Amino acid sequence: MEIAFIISSLMISVLLGGVIVAFLEKKDKQNIIKILLAFSGGFLLSIAFIHFVPELYEHSTHNIGIYILLGFLIQLILEFFSGGIEHGHVHHHGKGKIPWAIMISLGVHSFLEGIPLAAPFVGHEIATTHSHSGDQTLLMGIIFHQLPVAIALMTLLFTANLKKTTAWLLLLLFAVTTPAGVVFGYFSNTAFEGYDFNLILAIVVGMFLHISTTIIFETSENHKFNFLKLVSIVLGFAIAIMIH
């Protein structure tokens, strides 16, 4: 894959979330967000366990489990500031105020996700390169999760009564954070001696594990929606297994 394709795909997934919110502006989007998140949670958990964790342990000489745990902890801290928007929690904030804590925590999360995507372009082998579908799997996992998060973020920005121009600019800012991570990963290879993309990937996998397990184990409002959530999770599992 070309790096331009990766960057454009990442940005389009976020902006598509904004378009969905604008199109469904007067409708309740919570169920849409939760179903998409359930699918992404199933997919992220599956690729973590059947692909990234085994290959990280196989191909890394470091105590990689520490970095996976570090990623889990980092995500836990980030969600303290984001209010859990990564798994669909849209809390109302002060009217007309930009939720900077949420923007910064989402930005850090997305920036870290983008760094391992640069590894193949600088000749580094990481866990994603030991499978024919590895690079696509990481990219797909990020995209599948960014879409519902973008919907949740844009919903929050609209309900905060911000100007629509401001809301779209903030969404665009969020859209460029993961590509910024890709660019940073590309150039950091020459800036830092002995740079190991596997360590960053392990942190990202830890973040994936926190997000996916939180999504999956959160309770839903009624039995009917629980069934839809279950179907979405199983679908995420199935697609992850099929592309492995």
- Sketch the domain layout of the chain as residue ranges: 3-21+29-242
Which is more confident, 26 or 47? 47
Which is more confident, 202 or 130? 202
Which is more confident, 219 or 38? 38
pLDDT confidence of residue 217: 82
Q: Helices (DSSP H) in the chain: which residue ranges?
A: 3-23, 30-47, 53-59, 64-82, 100-114, 134-159, 164-175, 177-191, 197-217, 223-242
For residue 124, pLDDT over 80 is answered with: no
At 187 the three-state DSSP class reads helix
Q: How far apart are CA 230 and CA 102, in angstroms?
A: 28
In the block, which residue shows the tokens 């470091």? 62
Q: What is the mean pLDDT of the chain?
A: 85
- Percent over 70 (pLDDT), the chain: 84
The dihedrals phi and psi of 219, each to the nearest 5 degrees, come to -80, 155
For residue 158, pLDDT over 80 is answered with: yes
Q: Contact 13/150 with Cβ under 8 angstroms?
A: yes
Give the pair of three-digit tokens for residue 44: 């992220």
**Cα distance between the two ends of the chain:** 17
Q: How far apart are CA 139 and CA 135, in angstroms?
A: 6
For residue 43, pLDDT over 90 is answered with: yes
pLDDT (mean) for 64-89: 89
What does the CA dihedral 106, 127, 59, 120 come to, rounded to 10 degrees?
Answer: -100
Which is more confident, 120 or 222? 120
> Each residue of 205-217: pLDDT tens digit?
999 999 999 888 8
pLDDT (mean) for 16-45: 84
Q: How far apart are CA 116 and CA 181, in angstroms?
A: 8
Angle at which helices 197-217 and 134-159 cross, to 10°: 50
Q: What is the pTM of this model?
A: 0.88
- In which element (H, E) is residue 2 found? none
pLDDT confidence of residue 130: 47
> Each residue of 177-194: pLDDT tens digit?
999 999 999 888 665 656
pLDDT confidence of residue 193: 59
